[in-house]
Amino acid sequence: MSEITERTPQAVSPAGGPSPGSAPSPLGRVLGVLARQREATVFIVAVVLLLYFGIKYNSTFVSQTNLSNLLSETAAPIIVIAIGEVFLLICGEIDLSAGFVFTFAPFLMHYLIDFYGWPAWPAIIVALLFGVVVGWFNGFLTVTMGLPSFITTLGTGFILLGLTLTTSHAYPANIPASTVGIGRWLGAGVWSQFIIAIILTVIFYLVLNRTRWGLYTIATGGNALGAREAGIKTGRIKYGNFMLTSTLGALVGLQTAWYTNTIDPSAGGYQPMFYAVTAAVIGGTAMLGGQGTIIGAFLGGIVLATLINGLNVAGISANPLDIVFGAAILLSMIANVRLARLRAAGRN
């Protein structure tokens, strides 16, 4: 994990805060690593949780069925939506509607195939493109019309939910038979979702850290006016990231439909979206704009899924889970803010 952010702490400005000098103690060194590597905290938490459940509930937790449940069914959807949310959070926006694109996309595929006689692939592609369109609309309302994205996506989320319930009469539908083969690769296969989540994580890690798009996303969130003065089209960046997030929402919706072998109007919604934002935040993405990490969101997704799955395996009631999540969000946010200050002070 060491090459992730490539931060050099030696550049200390006179404006920096008081830096406690002296030789670093082991504890100080650990704090130093935590301060420099945004992802370090969540990495340690993920490892500790996996070890805890792995050792304590060895046979059940480490079984292939359980691990694939944990990683493919629970973690992967969180991770994939979180990737989009990280990009949006970095450029200072959020998408509350991604989970409702999740809900509607498989229905759209089902309508096109079963009511309009479309072949499988075009229907799948149009279902994904629907995500692009919703993202464009979110971008239009937020960037062009100037609404706060919290409100924009709250509105579009409700509209999408209503659209799903109206068109489906709130009844689940069967997976169109023609998509079952494709679905095995994209979602229904035991490891498909998790493998795709890993591939997307790697791709978007590169996009964020090694491409202009990523750089401009950070610039847009870090200093929007400055970015515009440098000639960066910040509006276009935001449009693009809204479109990315909605499309990932649509993808996860299709995958989940294949995995659960049903198209369910109660799937998706706010929960996967809020889990995704939670994963992003405990992974080290501050909602302050300009900062965020894809690897952190991936690990955050693993942490959430391990807790959800682990407590289940342990036979502990899932009721207190939300208390844990809430506390985790608050603690990691406090850590983010504090560590950011340490970083700013150039402490090593």
Partner 1 sequence: MSAEPTPTPDPPAGPVTDAQGDVLRVEHISKRFGAVRALHDVNLHLGQGEVLGLLGDNGAGKSTLIKIICGFQPASSGKIFLEGQEVTFKSVDQARAAGIDCVYQDLALINELTVYHNMFLNRERTRWRLLANRSMKRTAKEQLDRIGVNIPSVDAEVAKLSGGQRQAIAVARAVTSNAKVLLLDEPLAAMGAKEGAMILELVKDLKQQGQVSIIMIMHNYGQALEVCDRINLLQHGEITFDKLVKDTSVQELNDIVIEEYRRALQERQQAS
- Asked if 117 interacts with partner 1 (CB under 8 A), we say no
Interacting span for partner 1 (CB under 8 A) from 116-124, 146-154, 171-179, 216-224: 216-224
Helices (H) and strands (E) in the chain, counts: 16, 0
Residue 102 and residue 330: Cα distance in Å, rounded? 27
- Asked if 341 interacts with partner 1 (CB under 8 A), we say no
Q: What are the phi and psi torsion angles at 7 (to 5°)? A: -95, 135
Q: What are the phi and psi torsion angles at 173 (to 5°)? A: -125, 160
Residue 287 and residue 306: Cα distance in Å, rounded? 24
Q: Are residues 312 and 318 in contact, defined by beta-carbon separation less than 8 angstroms?
A: yes
Angle formed at CA 329 by CA 190 and CA 160, multiple of 5 degrees? 60
Exactly one of 29, 56, 212, 341 binds partner 1 (CB under 8 A); which one? 212
SS (H, E, C) 156-215: HHHHHHHHHHHHHCCCCECCCHHHHHHHHHHHHCCCHHHHHHHHHHHHHHHHHHHCHHHH
Exactly one of 1, 7, 55, 320 binds partner 1 (CB under 8 A); which one? 7
Exactly one of 10, 64, 166, 319 binds partner 1 (CB under 8 A); which one? 10
Residue 249 and residue 105: Cα distance in Å, rounded? 8
- Asked if 3 interacts with partner 1 (CB under 8 A), we say no
Length of the chain: 348
Exactly one of 17, 28, 122, 226 binds partner 1 (CB under 8 A); which one? 226
Report the residue number, 96 or 219, with the smaller CB distance to partner 1: 219
- Asked if 19 interacts with partner 1 (CB under 8 A), we say no
- Asked if 211 interacts with partner 1 (CB under 8 A), we say yes
Report the residue number, 110 or 347, with the smaller CB distance to partner 1: 347
Exactly one of 31, 67, 186, 215 binds partner 1 (CB under 8 A); which one? 215
- Asked if 223 interacts with partner 1 (CB under 8 A), we say yes
The residues that bridge with 263 in the sheet, in sequence order, are: 173
Site string for partner 1, 259-298 (x = CB under 8 A): -------------------------------xx-------
**Which residue is associated with the tokens 């889990």?**
275
- Asked if 27 interacts with partner 1 (CB under 8 A), we say no
Residues engaged in binding partner 1 (CB under 8 A):
6-8, 10-16, 206, 210-212, 215-216, 218-219, 221-223, 225-232, 290-291, 344, 346
